Structure 1
Amino acid sequence: MNEYALRNRIGAYSKVARAPFLTLPVTLVLLGSATAWVADGFDLLAASLAFVGLLSLHVSINARNEYRDYQSGVDFETEPTPFSGGSKTLPEGDIEPIAAKRLATATAGLGAIIGGYFIIDVGLVLVPITILGAVSVLFYTSHLTRFGLGELFAGLGLGGLAVLGTGVVQVGSITPAMVVGSVPPTLLTFNLLLLNEFPDQEADRRGDRRNLIHRLGRSAAAKVYVGAGVGVSLSVGGGWVIGLFPVWALLGVLPSLLLARPVMWALGAPGNSLPLDAQRDNVLWILGTNSLLAAGLVLPGFL
């Protein structure tokens, strides 16, 4: 394989892995590590290994989703945006479908190996987290999206459980700050998926998916999005009120200003096409909240 062909193939794998979305695991590990810091248990090596495992699982979810959507025909129906609609890598023939499936399997295997190591090292406290995470990875597209559970398990697997697990592998136990700190990212990733489903509503329906938008309708699903968005700020503020978070953690509320566009659309015109800038602001809100909440948790240690 010549250099040009190799670059194209690497680029195709990157598209299937949805590389631009892989900033999410970075912020989740930062937040989980911040909850470990609060418990005086920060461990750089364990955090780094947790990041490799979470990144692998995220790649697996994305690649498996691309493969399944190609098989079901969903990928042929969507109009891609930078935030939704798939990468079109498989329909355009940039890479073989079996290669995407193999990537999903290999990265899931790597994540499982790292998870197994942590269970041996830390103990059985990780077993429920690992099982729920495995269900989120392996059955997201094939089962969970068909029963209206995709958004919830995405929020858990690439949100709260990731933060909780990252903290536990460093401290060795679950702390109250970890539990409360896992709530905002659960709601954030839930909303990440929910909002991005609006442009793909009809394509997903033809692919036999039954997302919340199909079960509730656009207007009600949009209100769920707004409610979850409010819940993020309330959970951050609640952590401070009950004394688990320092006042600096309220920095995590600031990115909620970015909800102006998506909330105005959700409350005013959910039947219309979702504006691209609303999708963009939604992503920035999610990454910003995870990151600033993490910064707020560790900042007192430097002051």
Structure 2
Amino acid sequence: MRLPFLILTPVCVLLGLSVVIASQREVEGYLLVLTLLVAMFAHVSVNALNEYFDFSNGLDLKTLRTPFSGGSGALPQHPEMAVAVLILGLGSLLATVLLGAFFVWKYGAAVMPLGVAGLLLVAAYTPWITKRPFLCLIGPGLGFGFLMVAGTHFAMTGEYSTLSWQVAVVPFFLVNNLLLLNQYPDIHADRSVGRNNILIAYGTQLGSVVYGVFATLAMAAIVLLAGSGIVPALSLIALLPMPLAFFALSGAVKYGEAIGNYPHFLLANVLVALLTPALLGVAIIFG
């Protein structure tokens, strides 16, 4: 399940919840719990299925592991657990569908676009999306940014919110960067099993430019939202972790594929992806 990676899920749910609270809508505890469970099962499913496929195609045996690698590296040590991991992935996907069916029953077909898009993203990520550079680049941000943040608001209220889509721009860019930087140490291993992300297709120099652009756009989104009064001025505190993104970028530029040997850069990348949307959510609630 890659438990440390799952921290991102409640952070994105918190950001969606902040919009509900800011709009002075009632927060029903059971809906919040079910929303968090749907998001968590979806995240566990994509992690476990990715783990299974990476072991099955031999990628886990070729990857030079870092503390921030996508896979846990457990299956090469315990290959007899492969079927159990597949069952975990499919079982979590089924749980996502069943819990999602509750929201369809409660709110009707309006929730279906979010649900179907989320399921397609989970099921297609490893076998299909990772072979298409542009989709591989934006897939993580679509899932954790737009679908999870806007989905949380809908699950809590039965309505779509313009504000939830606007604030979701921030985790969209940062989560894309989170996965992008973690792909640097795995370029050769990923290429050998047929993956084709932006680093493989166009090189690390362009990857670093994209990372810098995404980090800048995340900052710009926070400033524009706060400056225009769409979110409270307190939301500018979400800029505090952003220097970590440019520290991480400096590591990517300097070391390229060898950045895995300098995990403090990867850690900075993780921290900015978690702290920035968390601070933005807290600021929206209390601002």
Tell me the TM-score normalized by structure 1. 0.90
1:82 aligns with 2:67: yes
**How far is the alpha carbon of 1:202 from its aligned partner?**
0.5
Q: 1:32·1:178 contact (CA, 8 Å) conserved in 2?
A: yes
Aligned length: 284
Q: Which residue number corresponds to residue 35 of structure 1? A: 19
1:81: Cα distance to partner?
1.3
Q: Distance in 2 between matches of 1:85 and 1:185?
A: 18
Residue of structure 1 equivalent to 2:43 = 58
Query: Structure 1 residues 95 and 19, CA, compared in 2 at 3 Å: closer, same or farther?
Result: farther
The aligned counterpart of 2:271 is 284
In the other structure, the counterpart of 1:108 is 93
The amino acid of 1:153's aligned partner reads: G
Q: Structure 1, unaligned stretches of length 5 or more?
A: 1-16
- Calculate the aligned-residue CA RMSD, in Å: 1.5
Between the aligned residues of both structures, percent identity stands at 30
The offset of 1:163, in angstroms, is 0.6
The structure 1 segments of at least 4 consecutive aligned residues displaced by more than 6 Å after TM superposition are none
Give me the whole-angstrom Cα distance separating, in 1, the residues matched to 2:140 and 2:18.
22
What amino acid is the match of 1:171?
A: T
- Counterpart of 1:8? none
| Of 46-55 and 117-126, the range deviating more from structure 2 | 117-126
Q: Which residue of 2 aligns with 1:172?
A: 158
Q: Please state if 1:294 is matched with 2:281.
A: yes
Aligned to 1:25: 9
For the 8 Å contact 1:219–1:271, the answer to whether it is kept is: no
TM-superposition CA deviations, 1:76-100 (whole Å, max 9, x none)? 0001111015222111116521111
Which of 23, 33, 39 is the aligned partner of 1:48?
33
SS of the aligned residue for 2:149 comes to helix
CA deviation digits over 1:124-143, x for unaligned, max 9?
33211111111110000000
Question: 2:184 touches 2:257 (CA, 8 Å); kept in 1?
Answer: no
Which amino acid in 2 is paired with 1:52? L
- Hey, what's the Cα distance between the residues in 1 that align with 2:220 and 2:130? 28
Once the two structures are TM-superposed, the CA of residue 122 in structure 1 deviates from its matched residue by 2.1
89-98 or 280-289, larger mean C-alpha shift:
89-98
The answer (yes or no) to whether the contact 2:10–2:36 under 8 Å persists in 1 is yes
Partners of 1:139 and 1:153 in 2: how far apart?
A: 10
**1:108-147 alignment to 2 at 5 Å?**
108-147=93-132
Match for 2:164: what amino acid?
M
Unpaired runs of at least 5, structure 2: none
- Structure 1 Cα separation of the partners of residues 230 and 70 of structure 2: 39
Q: Structure 1 residue 162 and structure 2 residue 177: aligned?
A: no
Measure, in 2, the Cα distance between the counterparts of 1:236 and 1:171. 24
Q: Which residue of 1 aligns with 2:259?
A: 273
Alignment-mate amino acid for residue 11 of structure 2: T
Query: Which whole-Å CA distance do the structure 1 matches of 2:208 and 2:224 have between them?
Result: 24
Which amino acid counterpart does residue 93 of structure 1 have in structure 2?
Answer: H
